Structure 1
């Protein structure tokens, strides 16, 4: 994975236009950033380039503007945030065109300019060569520090770096790649995975890939009910993907053949409806009038026991509807236990990251990935579009 990739500290940046693809896709409400984690995480790379005397051009997307200008998805609040907390950052009202080119050319060594939302142009998502060429005019050196966007073959992630001779990964990307390289290629044993979330269909590829790398997979969230139902358990009104029963049975058979353990819930926190009153079900079968919305205490204790001897644990996806106070205990209990383990812990996926932060244990997790979709695709395929574009 790392072979053929250079990193920013190997590059000569002095007086060069350094185009850094960052991931500033942060929540903004009424012009105020609600969670600046992704911006703060990128500061090591940006500050390094600035201090090396680069003329720094930052580029990112935000939200899904569908190729049109949307003032609610402008990156201007990000420029204001960086200016207020770190250092002055100029802002460009677009990401291409004559006015932007002038702003770029006017930059002095050590100055920083943030371009407007790349996705205001449909050519970004379409990976149009002409759009990539326009961005390339701002680029003596290309740096990808946007791990969370690197599974998308968009112009700024794929087309642009393929046009650049000098290119490298930033420090945030480096940390992500080193941890996932360790997971995929150099794992200590035993190596366990915890997978949650709503749908098996979104994680089939990941499950099948992990089965060749891990010793055990613990499954929670709504996806567990598809597994349980496929094995003959009653799941009531729980979310179940019936069309995946054959796939699930093949996964279970493959696990048995490989002597790899798949662990499923043995009790549940349920309700008659999604936001209803919680009811405890002390066994694996769920009554017809209830739906499973969290793992129960017996499952929590079972999962703790199954994880107790781990050397590495990778977690992606919550154990239940953790946004609700009535159905968050299972997720938070697992997060808190993970933080106590004498094991390398890696958490990926937006919901999982949110869960460890809400549980107050994020400082005790060895690596929290900034990209949910990217981390899943990297686990499944072993590479990403943005990584491959840095190698060519």
Structure 2
């Protein structure tokens, strides 16, 4: 037993410790926002990237709304000198919820890119559940080791064609600062490596592994989560090296759907504060302005994940665009919303950033990623740090 008082310590948007009780409360709060259904059968699902962001939201929405059984995969650090990562504690809390709700959902802590992980996960699936109905792929990683060659690929956050400088947001002692961030042009090699990390190759390998083990159920569906975003963030995101990887992900969906017995889609989600997105220059300011414009009308990852499951299961008709992508971001890209955000973007200065942007909300959301600033948690009390990973 190792109990101690945990305070937020870090630099920028990265914290060295996370708060177990805060992370647990985040999971409870997310589950409380989902209305349960009574499905005819409990589907079997794999969620790759189940401990944070949209992957976590999809896991919780599936557990509560449709009673999914299955396996979630993520790669988190155990407690040592520092606390465990926030995803470790969120996973423990999600597993506890699943058990209390009578769901049979296991969690594997391992590198999703590795063939050994696929073997471990599918051995568990074959033993406990049988064929899989849904595979949700939500992986954001800085690097990937190709299991066939041992080559390490590194993703690059760079532009394509020309350098780009954008407004961005930072914080000093909790006060917002308007800054500038400049990105260099990616080389062809950097673009190719980013595609190797964040494109559709590993998604395909998961589907291949399921097919080889005859673990694709009739009506099998798989979805990879992606993002398009605003023209304001386009040069850095969708038109940059990451965008090339996202385009490959979408092409992969079309290729996978050509196979018998596979329905593959990409789900275009809306903007949110996640550990991945907060690290991208300009995104934090954009999301702060978006929330200022929309307020409570800004759809959260859990709301979007409910919509995702409703469309995957046929509860509601899929909202597809002309390229066959599920669109969960129409609220964000509504022309009136984008026009309002653009007006705020042009108007923001260091003098007015605290009022033009919803900077306080954004700062609190970043802290919530690590279990801080969560209502109902006593941050002066000692809390248990040595939380075990859920047993399979």
Q: TM-score range by the shorter chain?
A: under 0.3
How does the TM-score come out when normalised to structure 1?
A: 0.26
| Higher Rg of the two aligned structures | 1
TM-score normalised over the length of structure 2:
0.26
